[in-house]
Chains A and B, each alone.
Chain A
Amino acid sequence: DVKVTQSSRYLVKRTGEKVFLECVQDMDHENMFWYRQDPGLGLRLIYFSYDVKMKEKGDIPEGYSVSREKKERFSLILESASTNQTSMYLCATRIGAANTGELFFGEGSRLTVL
């Protein structure tokens, strides 16, 4: 079975803290994605990676960075958390570059920044 695991389901952090959200997949997929989900705005792409150490900015990269040192792991980093980064964060993977392939999602990480 396909498995995308996000390390933390719920986090509460304070403004200015550094936050790490980790995502691990066991499917050997090349592509990994981080989305942010907010009510009324749907899913917005923050960053994606198509290979180890490769990354590309999505639609809303400001305030975020990512790391992909191993194929199976893709981390989202908030260098200095702010209250407007309170949101649901979703990691997803996709096989290869095929446009027919669907995204596989983790359970999500709900972050609250106080």
Chain B
Amino acid sequence: AQSVTQLGSHVSVSEGALVLLRCNYSSSVPPYLFWYVQYPNQGLQLLLKYTSAATLVKGINGFEAEFKKSETSFHLTKPSAHMSDAAEYFCAVSGSANYGQNFVFGPGTRLSVLP
């Protein structure tokens, strides 16, 4: 079975500050990991994904995430927050044999960016 936890349902940062959104997973097989962003009243958009290549993954809009197997983590970071980064962020894991249901999402973290 797979699961994802995201520490902090709501994170606030000042514009220009570091963004750190935490994601921990559990998986009985080598995981593939994803971060999605959702703007209000829109669908989810892929930010980046880890699929067993480089452990540091760069995505769109200046975001990156590092896969740490020993910590079962895949935290999302951005060096300098912008007002347009305000959105909800979801971490997801994929990797079980039952491919149809193997995409498991975390509960999400809402990011607020303060001027």
**Chain A residues with a Cβ under 8 A of chain B:** 4, 9, 31, 33, 40-43, 45, 48, 50, 56, 58-59, 90, 92, 94, 97-100, 102-108, 110
Contacts and interface: CB of A to CB of B under 8 A. Distances in A.
29 contacts: A4-B43, A9-B41, A31-B99, A33-B103, A40-B9, A40-B107, A41-B107, A42-B106, A42-B107, A43-B44, A45-B101, A45-B103, A56-B101, A59-B101, A90-B43, A90-B44, A92-B44, A94-B103, A98-B99, A99-B32, A99-B95, A100-B32, A100-B51, A103-B44, A105-B43, A107-B43, A108-B41, A108-B42, A110-B41
Contacts of B90: 42-43
Contacts of A40: 9, 107
Interface in B59-108: 90, 92, 94-96, 99-103, 105-108
B107 A97 contact: no
B105 A43 contact: yes
A31 to B, nearest CB: 7
Please list the 10 inter-chain residue pairs (A to B) with the smallest Cβ-Cβ separation, ordered nearest first. Answer: A105-B43, A42-B107, A100-B51, A97-B99, A43-B105, A105-B44, A107-B43, A48-B100, A42-B105, A99-B94
Contacts of B34: 102-103
Contacts of B45: 105
A7 B24 CA distance: 35
Interface of B: 9, 32, 34, 36, 41-46, 49, 51-52, 90, 92, 94-96, 99-103, 105-108
Name the residue among B42, B45, B52, B100 with the largest chain A CB count within 10 angstroms.
B100
B107 A108 contact: no
Contacts of A4: 43
Given A42-B107, A103-B44, A56 B32 contact: no
Given A31-B99, A48-B100, A105-B45, 18 more contacts: A9-B41, A40-B9, A40-B107, A42-B90, A42-B106, A42-B108, A48-B101, A50-B100, A59-B101, A99-B94, A99-B96, A102-B49, A103-B92, A104-B46, A105-B44, A106-B43, A108-B41, A108-B42
